[in-house]
Amino acid sequence: MNLVLPLLPLTAITVLLFLTVWMLSSMLRSHGIQSIFLALAIFVVTATIHVFFWLPYARHMSEVGEEGFFPGTSASTLIVGVLVGTFLPTGIILIHLLLDSFSAGSSQFIFGLSSGRRVESDFSKARALAGDGDIDGAIRQYWRYFEEFPNKVEPMIDAANLLCARGRHEEATDLLRDVLRQVRDRDRLWAQVVFRLAEILRENMEERQAALYLYGRIVRRAPHTPWGRLSHARLVRSTTPGP
């Protein structure tokens, strides 16, 4: 009983710490923030807080020689096991955050993991198909890029540009709306896709009011992103009287 009662608040602290880190990592991912140093800082702070609460308890139980839950198990051994076991889930989340921060090549080199091939910066396979006149095949290739690298929407922006260049503006907007459904919880990616959608509506489909509405949404939701600043500039220009 002397061992069990203090474990309850400590376990609650561990659970709260785990949930806090989970929320932080989700927020970073939703804003497109993938900083190695920030991930390491979160890891260090989390480890410090965790040890601050658990280590004095482990030391106290070891000094008084309290027996663990099982006969012959020392309290110090048990607490070390609990300490490691409860910290693992938080550590896994933080390692996942670190992996997102590294490029695919660095992740493979440091952690022995690989997320597969790198997406071609020039989207050569899709553009080769487009050059051969296979526009639908090119679009399918762009989707493959996006499915493999869901944190990069540039392939789908390029796909929309390809459709617009062929005069298929409605298909381009439909494609971007499909992408939006998959990135709606990630502010930075969402803003990037919505801005391109607004540009197509304004430049190619003469839907100026719809475009202005989308610019406004970007400014309200993601004002500090490049697309938030561009959207703000578009709105200011729209309200400035001409010469």
- What is the pLDDT at residue 111? 39
Q: Which residues of the chain have pLDDT under 50?
A: 1-5, 32, 67-73, 103-119
- What is the pLDDT at residue 151? 87
- What is the pLDDT at residue 110? 39
- What is the pLDDT at residue 23? 72
User: What DSSP assignment string belongs to 132-182?
Assistant: TT-HHHHHHHHHHHHHH-TT--HHHHHHHHHHHHTT-HHHHHHHHHHHHHH
Domains belonging to the chain, first-starting first, are: 4-111 (no CATH), 124-239 (1.25.40.10)
Three-class secondary structure of residue 123 per DSSP: coil
pLDDT, tens digit (0-9, with 9 covering 90-100), for 180-189: 999 998 999 9
Residue 68: CB atoms within 10 Å: 17
**pTM of the predicted model, to two decimals?**
0.54
- What is the pLDDT at residue 228? 94
Q: How far apart are CA 166 and CA 136, in angstroms?
A: 12
Give me the phi and psi of 72, to 5 degrees please.
85, 0
- What is the pLDDT at residue 215? 96
pLDDT, tens digit (0-9, with 9 covering 90-100), for 43-65: 677 767 766 776 666 666 656 55
* Of 66, 23, 67, residue with least CA distance to 46: 23
- What is the pLDDT at residue 43? 67
